[in-house]
Structure 1
Amino acid sequence: MTPKELSEKARQLVAEGALLLDVRTPDEFRQGHPEPARNIPVQELQQRLAEVGPPGTKVVVYCASGGRSAMAAGLLRRSGYPDVFDLKSVSYW
């Protein structure tokens, strides 16, 4: 998908109720993020899954460039969240 297509799909999913999840560090998050985003650093995600919502919650995940979001998407899927969309980079929002 192109960055434009990723952006359109992510925005559509969030508009439909998906959680927008920023898996960058708190410092990166404070430097700027999309308004509806929730910050749970990828290193803490396993311990903070309850904050994502019940298994089955739709999630759009992103980070700075796509590496951490890919790790987070895999972890979420293995943890019972089948509807995970990896936006990759916050810049695509």
Structure 2
Amino acid sequence: MLSFLKKLFPAPVDYNAVMARGGIIIDVRTSSEFSGGHIKGSRNLPLDQIKKEIPVLKKMNTPIITVCRSGNRSGMAKSLLAASGMEVYNGGAWNSLANKLNKS
């Protein structure tokens, strides 16, 4: 029963700790959205290009945090990357994650 509840209500992610372990932020919005604002140091990799970049991302062997405008596309990207065996977290909306990272 407890494991079921943990799946329904996972512990909050400490994104600062993920970054301290060498994590990278992948922004899956389009390049025009990304150019309108993004987290400093994040990498733009639009969702429609994620699948072909999986081998490159896997070789990096580092935690990945995906972000987008609302959390929907980053959730899809997280699922694709996690299915490939990577440690990945859905950071949700990029500006929301930026605020969380600045509160360290």
Structural mapping, 1:1-93, within 5 Å: 9-54=14-59, 56-81=61-86, 83-92=87-96, 93=98
How many residue pairs match? The answer is 87
Q: Displacement, 1:48?
A: 1.5
Q: Which is greater in Rg?
A: 2
Mapped partners of 2:32, 2:55: distance in 1: 22
Mapped partners of 1:11, 1:30: distance in 2: 24
Could you tell me which runs of 5 or more consecutive residues in structure 2 were left unpaired when the two chains were aligned.
1-8, 99-104
Structure 1: which 4+ aligned runs deviate by more than 6 Å? none
Q: Displacement, 1:14?
A: 1.4
TM-score (structure 2 length as normaliser): 0.73
Say what the alpha-carbon RMSD is for the aligned residues. 2.0
TM-score (structure 1 length as normaliser): 0.81
What percent identity do the matched residue pairs reach?
30
Could you tell me which runs of 5 or more consecutive residues in structure 1 were left unpaired when the two chains were aligned.
none
Q: Displacement, 1:15?
A: 2.6
